[in-house]
Amino acid sequence: MDKPIEPPDMPGRPRAVPTRRPPLALAAYRALTRMAAPAAPLILGYRERRGKEDHARRGERFGVASMPRPAGALAWVHAASVGEANAVLPVIAQLRAARPDVAVLLTTGTVTSARFVAQRRPDGVMHQYVPLDAPGFVARFLDHWRPSLVVLTEQEIWPNLVTTVHARGIPLTLVNARMSDRSFARWRRRLPLAVALFSCFTAVIAQTRELAERFRTLGAAEATAVGNVKIDAPPLPVDAAAHAALDAALGRRPRFVAASTHAGEELVIAAAHRELRRHLDGFCTIIAPRHPERGPGLADAMRMEGLTVARRSLGELPGPSTDIYIADTIGELGTLYATAPVAFIGGSLIEHGGQNAVEAVRLGAAVITGPSWSNFPDVMGALLASGGAVEIRTADELAGEVRRLLSDTALLADRRARGEAALAALGGALDRTIAVLLPLLPASIGHRGAARAV
C-alpha cells in the first residue's frame, strides 16, 4: 500500500509550458463547445425542470458573476459535488488562516453542493456555480474574477478551463488528485490530448505515489504524493431533527445502510436482506442510491422482489413492516450513517471502483465493501489490512457479515475502533497540501490587501 510522502520544496512558480499546436482532439473539442454555446440555455432549461440547475443563478453557468470581485489576491477553488466540497473546505480554511489577505472563491457544479456550501462555508468565502466549459463562458468568468491561483479537486479536468487558465499564466493545481485504472487507460490511449492538458498544471497533488506517477506519465511536470485530504475532512453533517425522527421510526429494529449504491448492486442487497430477516426480527435495510433519481425504479424493483418499500423523497418514514427504506434524497448521507451501525459502501460489487468509506468510519459505522475499491486504494487498503473493514463478494457473505456485527457488540466496537485507527495513521495530507499551495500564491502585502468577508 502506498504511503504519503512529503512534498518537495517548490520555491516560486514553475515555468509555463511553451505554447504548442493543440492536438486535433483538443482543437475539435474547442470548436464543438464554441458552436454548442448558443444551445446552452436550452440544455440548462431542461436540467432546471429536473431540479438539477438553479434558475435564479443561471447566469453564473454562463460565466456571469453575481457578486463583485474583492480587491487583492484571490484563490479560486473548484469542487464538483458535495463529497469534494466537504474534502476541500479544510484546505480553504487553512489557506485563509495562513493568508488572510487572500480572498477565496469556491465553485461547485450541482444544486446540492451549492446548498451544502451555503451551510458549511467559512466566513469570507464566496460561492458561485462553475461556468459551463465553453470558451466564451470560461473567458468571461476569468475576466471578472482574475484569480491568482486556481485549485481543482480530484479529477476535474475541463479542457477549455484548464487550457485557458494556463494560457493566462495563472498557477493551476489539482489537489487530492486521483485517477481510476479505467480512466488512466483511456487517457493513455489519447496521450497527445493528455499531455496537452496535464502539462498545463503547475502542480498535481496526488493521493498516492502510484497516482502521482500516473499523472507524470500523462504529462504533469510536478506530481507529488501527499495522501488523501478526505481523511482530514470533517465528518459529514448530521441533521439532528431528521436523525431523531428516523431513529424513532426504526425504534429497536436492527438495521444497516447500503450507501451510494449503483445499478446491479441492489438485487444482491435485497437477497441479503431476505436472509437477514430470517435471523434478525424486524430487520430493515436502508438503501441510499448514488443517484437519487433512481428511487422510483429502485422501489419498483424491490417490490418485484416481494419486499415492502418506503421512500424518503416522498416524506415517508419506515413503518413496522417496511423491509427496504429507500433514502432517495440528496445531502443526507451523514444522517444515515449516524442512524445505522453498519454500512456497506456501494460501487464495490460492480466494476466501478467503490465510493468513499471515510465518511462512514468518521460517523461510527462499521464498514463492509465489495471487491471493487480501486478508486480509494489507500483508504480501503488500510481499512482492510487493519481489520477496520471486511470485503464480501456475495449476498450470503454480506448477510453473514451484517449478522455477525449486529449480534456481537464487542465485534462491532472493535471494527469501529480499528477503522478509526487506520484513518488516523493515514492523516496529514492537509498540511502537506497546504505546503505545496502556499508558495504559489503572490507574496503577502499585509492587511492593506485583505479580502472582504462576503
Handedness of CA 188, 192, 193, 199 (dihedral sign): positive
Please state, in angstroms and rounded to a whole number, the distance separating the CA atoms of residues 132 and 32.
Answer: 13
Please state, in angstroms and rounded to a whole number, the distance separating the CA atoms of residues 326 and 23.
Answer: 46
Whose CA is closest to 242, among 332, 319, 359, 118? 332
DSSP 174: E
Please state, in angstroms and rounded to a whole number, the distance separating the CA atoms of residues 162 and 79.
Answer: 14
Please state, in angstroms and rounded to a whole number, the distance separating the CA atoms of residues 152 and 173.
Answer: 6
Please state, in angstroms and rounded to a whole number, the distance separating the CA atoms of residues 205 and 220.
Answer: 10
The DSSP secondary structure of 13-49, one letter per residue, reads -PPPPPP-PPPHHHHHHHHHHHHHGGGHHHHHHHHHH
Question: Hey, how many other C-beta atoms are within 10 angstroms of the C-beta on 43?
Answer: 13
Task: Tell me if 451 sits within 8 A of 102, measured CB to CB.
Answer: yes
Burial 292-303 (b: 16+ CB within 10 A, else e): bebbeebbebbe
- Show which residues are catalytic: 84
Please state, in angstroms and rounded to a whole number, the distance separating the CA atoms of residues 350 and 148.
Answer: 41
Please state, in angstroms and rounded to a whole number, the distance separating the CA atoms of residues 162 and 398.
Answer: 43
